[in-house]
């Protein structure tokens, strides 16, 4: 992932000035990585190691979303709508 994309994502989803590790920021960064890996796998269908990495990242994001939903459902709903994860 490009450094500028990462910085822009952190800037958009941070909760305060020093925030780089809140669940919202982590979920947004993982979503960006998922999007880039999905595009990669469209071109390279037989890249099984990248596919395994994608599955691991999706599972990690799922765990963070579950944690956020248990802790603060309002923040969960906001991040879901901002990232467009649920239909």
> Which CATH number covers residue 40?
1.10.287.10
pLDDT at 87 over 60: no
Instruction: Determine the average pLDDT of the residues in 51-72.
Output: 96
pLDDT at 1 over 80: no
pLDDT of residue 27: 96
Measured CA to CA, the distance from residue 1 to residue 24 in angstroms comes to: 18
The alpha helices in 14-47, defined as continuous H runs, are 23-43
Question: Who wins on pLDDT, 20 or 52?
Answer: 52
Q: How many domains does the chain have?
A: 1
Instruction: Determine the average pLDDT of the residues in 38-54.
Output: 96
Alpha carbon of residue 48 to chain centroid: 21
Residues 6 or more apart whose CB falls under 8 angstroms from that of 1 comprise: 29, 32, 33, 36
pLDDT of residue 19: 84
CA distances from 69 to 9, 13, 24, 58, 66 (A): 21, 16, 11, 16, 5
pLDDT at 62 over 70: yes
Q: For residue 49, what are the domain limits?
A: 3-83
């Amino acid at each position: 992932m490009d450094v500028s994309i990462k910085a822009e994502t952190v800037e958009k989803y941070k909760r305060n000035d020093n925030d780089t590790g809140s669940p919202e920021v982590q979920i947004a960064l993982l979503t960006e990585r998922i999007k880039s890996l999905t595009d990669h796998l469209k071109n390279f269908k037989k890249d099984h190691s990248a596919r395994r990495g994608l599955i691991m990242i999706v599972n990690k994001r799922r765990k963070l979303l579950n944690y956020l939903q248990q802790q603060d459902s309002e923040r969960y709903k906001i991040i879901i709508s901002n990232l467009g994860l649920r239909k």
